[in-house]
Amino acid sequence: MTFDTGAEPISGRPARESGSIGILTADMQRVVEEQRLGFVATVCPDGTPNLSPKGTTAVWDDEHLVFANIRSAGTLANLRQNAAVEINVVDPFLRKGYRFKGVASILESGALYDKAIAFYKERGSRVSVIREVVIVRVHSAQPIDSPAYDLGFTEDQVRARWERHFQSLRTGKTPSPTGE
């Protein structure tokens, strides 16, 4: 069953089968597919924000993103009350990515749900832990990046800085932050 949140109809086609050009550009799709981690923002009934990381974030087609609900009862409860959602996906080394705003549809059973489960199974996900699948009709998408770029840093410089930072975390020697 699809929980109707007021979203527009869904094509039901994974991105790799789509031939049309939608709101999600090739670069947006690349970033989402490479990163796979999206930060999903919803609104709680009391108006406060809810932010939940989703390691199942993926491109469904040229107009939709998708994520699986594994254990985020709060996110799903919020979406059932207010289907407005924002998903941010950012490359942690380049400090560049995109913010996607749209309307969510919750899939709990049915043909489209089965197609989404097959999609995740093909990606290597453990589908037995997936409770619902959320498909987001993206209405707007904007690039986001670090203020380091405003200071004149290049992508290579930003990447090198964050690679050093994460390496220092692995070795237990954390340098003091600079430039941001």
Indicate if 164 and 95 belong to the same structural domain: no
**Residue range 116-144: average pLDDT?**
95
Cα-trace Rg, the chain: 18
CA distance 47 to 30: 33
**pTM given for the model:** 0.84
pLDDT digits (tens, 9 = 90+) for 89-115: 999 999 999 999 999 999 999 999 999
Whether residue 96 is found in the same domain as residue 123:
yes
Share of the chain above pLDDT 90, in %: 79
More confident: 96 or 3:
96
34 and 45 housed in the same domain: yes
- Quote the pLDDT of residue 22: 85
How many Å apart are CA 176 and CA 180, to the nearest integer? Answer: 11
**81 and 122 fall within a common domain:** yes
Write the CATH number for 38: 2.30.110.10
Judgement on whether residues 140 and 152 belong to the same structural domain of the protein: no
Same domain, 124 and 170: no
Q: Quick: pLDDT tens for 5-51.
A: 444 445 555 544 444 568 999 999 999 999 999 999 999 999 999 99
Residue-level pLDDT at 14:
53
> Do residues 45 and 89 both lie within one domain?
yes
CA 121 to each of CA 14, 48, 53, 59: distance values in angstroms, whole numbers, following the listed order: 13, 34, 20, 15
Residue 22, amino acid: G
Token duo for residue 72: 């985020």
Task: Please tell me whether residues 127 and 156 are part of one structural domain.
Answer: no
The average confidence (pLDDT) of the chain is 88
Pairing of strands 64-69, 132-145: antiparallel
Task: Give the chain's domain count.
Answer: 2
* Structural domain that includes position 169: 147-180
